[in-house]
Amino acid sequence: GAVVSQHPSRVICKSGTSVKIECRSLDFQATTMFWYRQFPKKSLMLMATSNEGSKATYEQGVEKDKFLINHASLTLSTLTVTSAHPEDSSFYICSANSDGRGANEKLFFGSGTQLSVL
Amino acid sequence: SQQGEEDPQALSIQEGENATMNCSYKTSINNLQWYRQNSGRGLVHLILIRSNEREKHSGRLRVTLDTSKKSSSLLITASRAADTASYFCATRGSTLGRLYFGRGTQLTVWP
């Protein structure tokens, strides 16, 4: 199957700092990637759809200025949590279709990033 | 909400037993997918069933879909300790790839 690599796996930062999370498709090109957030024992919440070469599409209620998404190449999308606060602490996961056109509907997920803001 | 909702929230069984998890959803769907997540890890796709299908098998997995009841079930037969994980159903939004997940069923299989 297609491989999605996410880095870092865990990050601890001070309140007010910014944190960047990278999501790479290793063996395929992904014109679209998706960012999810997961709270303990809760469902995954879709945050935004990252589109290569264009602006991300954010879900209702997600602050675009808080969660900056950049999809500069067909294999890399980044999520930057700006001015992080303790309430931003969560598990963030990226995913992508292996078929850049989206014809293959199953998603391949990164291993996730556990963010802890002190 | 387009999210699926799994039932039960937690399931604990012995190795060799079958595990059944259910998923209900609210809107019409194109397909429904089941994913597995080990603790602190990303999700792994298990199986996809399309709206015009009623049942699908993959190894020890059996998925059913009842679009009239807006529900699906995932059956894992002859469970193993390695099956211990959270299982999520996901429905697709209007855009390919935009999946909406439920809260999952935490399955624990005791050796």
pLDDT tens digits, B4-59: 778 899 999 999 999 999 999 988 888 899 999 998 888 999 999 999 999 999 99
What are the backbone dihedrals phi and psi of residue A38, each rounded to the nearest 5 degrees, phi first?
Answer: -135, 125
- The reply to whether residue B42 touches residue A112, judged by beta carbons under 8 angstroms, is yes
pLDDT given at position B106: 94
Does residue B23 belong to the interface with chain A, where contact is any CB pair within 8 Å? no
Q: Give, in degrees to the nearest 5, the angle at Cα A4 between A113 and B106.
A: 60
Measure in Å the smallest separation between the Cα of A12 and chain B Cα atoms. Answer: 15
Q: Name which residue leads in pLDDT, B4 or A107.
A: A107
A12-16, A20-24, A101-105, B83-87 — which is least confidently predicted?
A: A101-105
Residues 6+ apart with CB under 8 A from A8: A21, A113
Query: Which chain A residues are within 8 Å of B101, Cβ to Cβ?
Result: 36, 43-44
Q: Name which residue leads in pLDDT, A1 or A55.
A: A55
Q: Does residue A1 have a pLDDT over 80?
A: no
Residues B19, B109 contacting (CB under 8 angstroms): yes
Structure tokens at A68: 């900056």
Mean pLDDT of B78-92: 94
Q: Nearest to residue A5, comparing CAs of A118, A85, A111?
A: A111
- The reply to whether residue B98 touches residue A49, judged by beta carbons under 8 angstroms, is yes
The residue type at B24: S
Structure tokens at A65: 């200025």
What are the backbone dihedrals phi and psi of residue A88, each rounded to the nearest 5 degrees, phi first?
Answer: -85, -10
Distance CA(A90)–CA(A87), nearest Å, equals 8
Q: Nearest to residue A34, comparing CAs of A115, A92, A101, A113?
A: A92
Q: Could you tell me the pLDDT band of residue B103, with boundaries at 50, 70 and 90? A: confident
Q: Could you tell me the pLDDT band of residue B98, with boundaries at 50, 70 and 90? A: confident
Q: Nearest to residue A77, comparing CAs of A15, A31, A111, A19?
A: A31
Q: Could you tell me the pLDDT band of residue B100, with boundaries at 50, 70 and 90? A: confident
Cis upstream peptide for B111 (omega within 30°): no
Distance CA(B94)–CA(B53), nearest Å, equals 19
- The reply to whether residue A106 touches residue B48, judged by beta carbons under 8 angstroms, is yes
Interval A10-54: pLDDT, tens: 999 999 999 999 999 998 888 889 999 998 877 889 999 988 888
Distance CA(A17)–CA(B30), nearest Å, equals 41
Strand bridging mode A57-58 / A4-7: unpaired
Query: Which chain B residues are within 8 Å of A91, Cβ to Cβ?
Result: 40
Strand bridging mode B105-110 / B10-14: parallel
Q: Does residue B83 have a pLDDT over 60?
A: yes
Measure in Å the smallest separation between the Cα of A76 and chain B Cα atoms. Answer: 17
Helix (H, G, I), strand (E, B) or coil at A87: helix
Q: Could you tell me the pLDDT band of residue B61, with boundaries at 50, 70 and 90? A: very high
- The reply to whether residue B97 touches residue A49, judged by beta carbons under 8 angstroms, is yes
Chain A residue nearest residue B103, CA to CA: A43
